[in-house]
Amino acid sequence: MTKAITVSGLRKSFGSTHALDGLDLDVETGEVHGFLGPNGSGKSTTIRVLLGLLRADAGAAQMLGRDPWTDAVEVHRRIAYVPGDVTLWRNLSGGEVIDLYGRLRGGLAPRRRAELIERFELDPTKKGRTYSKGNRQKVALVAAFASDVDLLILDEPTSGLDPLMEEVFQRCVEEERDRGRTILLSSHILSEVEELCDRVSIIRKGRTVETGSLADLRHLTRTSVTAELAGPPNGLAHLPGVHDLDVRGRRVRLQVDTDQLDGVLRQLSESGVRSLTSTPPTLEELFLRHYQDEVAR
């Protein structure tokens, strides 16, 4: 069993809105998988189907090799879930909630719990109603990271965290991966995904539009190149895969399809290269390209 989550052709409608329209998702065991998409694209709906809270209309889904609807309780023993907007019981302290969640999953490691509370600078004696948004997220995050589980499902978990805590969160995710745990991270923060994720799936309008490692995805897109040459450039305009060519004297700027990079470099070195900068596409550019397609359509 190498797949922690497999989803294929998942459909779910609420009345006349199609929240999921044939969504596919594969998460390998032991990887951190980024789950990206604009608001309302169906990320949370997918997660709620995976948690057995919603029943899919069509398609297949498996979590840890089991059906998330019929075997919900067995599956849930081995997972921890952090929603994007944590609500707590107003008169229970944060510590009580952390322990409750831990016991209702596979159990809680007391030392890890204490360490996480320290690192997230959480006061576990405060009552639920007095926590701020960020602190409520911390309660759920501590409970999830301290639980003894195989799979973490994090649905925009860092909303409301400050940059320092965001850093702590990223270290925790890395530690979890090093322990061999699988993480599905739905996120809006692309730098976070870029930093943490082995593979990503980008969804739009309830469908998966792109999936693979960041390297794979970058391969499909353009790299920007800026070069200072010894002599005047030539022949660049006719090379396959070159876009937005801008030549000013000996200075060249261009965009190139990443799989055509080799030809461009060869052509540049014929003129003699004094300096060269090449920037891989950011995830943001990937994301925006898909999103802008949607706007354009």
Partner 1 sequence: MTTLATRAPRGSRQLAGTGTLLRFALRRDRVMIPVWIAVNALMVLSMPNTLKGLYGTTAERADLVRQMETNASFRALIGPVFDTSIGALTAWRVGIYAAALGAVMSLLIVVRHTRDEEESGRQELVASGTVGRRASLTAALLTAAAANAVLALLITAGLAGQGASGALSFGLGLAGVGMVFATMAAIAAQLTQSARLARGLTAAVLGAAFVLRAAGDSATDGGTSQAFGTGGGSSVLTWLSPLGWLENQRSFAGERWWVLLLFAAAVAVQAVVAYELAGRRDVGMSFLPTRPGPPTGRLGTAGALAWRLQRGGVLGWSVGFFLAGVVYGGLTDGAADLVRDNDKAREIFERMGGLSGLTDAFLASMVGMLGLIASLYVVASVLRLNGEETSGRAEPLLACAVGRLRWAAGHLVIAFGGSALIMLLAGLGFAVGYGKEIGPILGACLVQVPAVWVIGGAAVLLYGLAPRLAPASWGIAVAVLLIGWVGPALNAPRIMLDLSPFGHLPKLPGGGMEWPPVLILMGLAMMLVGGGLAGLRSRDMTT
266 forms part of the interface with partner 1 (CB under 8 A): no
Does residue 208 interact with partner 1 by CB under 8 A? no
Among 5, 62, 101, 177, binds partner 1 (CB under 8 A): 101
Smallest gap from Cβ 216 to partner 1, in A, equals 31
Residues 153-182 that bind partner 1 (CB under 8 A): 153
Considering the complex, state which of residue 130 and residue 277 has its C-beta at the smaller distance from partner 1.
130
| Positions in 123-152 near partner 1 (CB under 8 A) | 124-127, 129-130, 140
Distances (CA, A) of 41 to 50, 205, 212, 215: 16, 5, 19, 24
Measured distance CA(24)–CA(209) in Å, rounded: 9
Among 4, 7, 98, 286, binds partner 1 (CB under 8 A): 98
CA 64 to chain centre: 19
Contact region with partner 1 (CB under 8 A), list: 96-104, 186-194, 237-245, 265-273 = 96-104
Distance (Å, whole) CA 286 – CA 288: 6
50 neighbors 120 (Cβ within 8 angstroms): no
166 in helix, strand or coil?
A: helix
| Segment (H or E) for 81 | strand 79-82
Count of residues engaged in binding partner 1, rule: CB under 8 A = 44
The distance in angstroms from the start CA to the end CA of the chain is 40
Please pick, from the candidates 15, 16, 17, 55, the single residue that binds partner 1 as defined by CB under 8 A.
55
Residue 5 and residue 9: Cα distance in Å, rounded? Answer: 13
- Which stretch, 59-67, 81-89, 235-243, 276-284, contacts partner 1 (CB under 8 A)? 81-89
Taking CB under 8 A as the rule, does residue 89 contact partner 1? yes
Give Cα 8 distance to the centre of its chain.
19
243 makes contact with partner 1 (CB under 8 A): no
Nearer to partner 1, 4 or 202 (CB): 4
Determine the Cα–Cα distance for residues 229 and 226; give it in Å rounded to an integer.
Answer: 10
173 Cβ neighbours under 8 A, 6+ residues apart = 32, 183, 185, 196
Q: Toward partner 1, which CB reaches closer, 90 or 243?
A: 90
Q: How far is residue 286's CA from residue 37's CA, in Å, rounded to a whole number?
A: 11
Contact flag: residue 290 with partner 1 (CB under 8 A): no
Q: Is 184 in the site for partner 1 (CB under 8 A)?
A: no
Residues shown for the chain:
297
- Of 289, 290, 252, 286, whose CA–CA distance to 272 is shortest? 252
Tell me which stretch binds partner 1 (CB under 8 A): 2-10, 100-108, 172-180, 269-277: 100-108
Does 116 help bind partner 1 (rule: CB under 8 A)?
A: no
109 binds partner 1 (CB under 8 A): no
Q: Which residues bind partner 1 (CB under 8 A)?
A: 48, 51-55, 72-74, 76-77, 79, 81-83, 85-101, 103-106, 124-127, 129-130, 140, 153
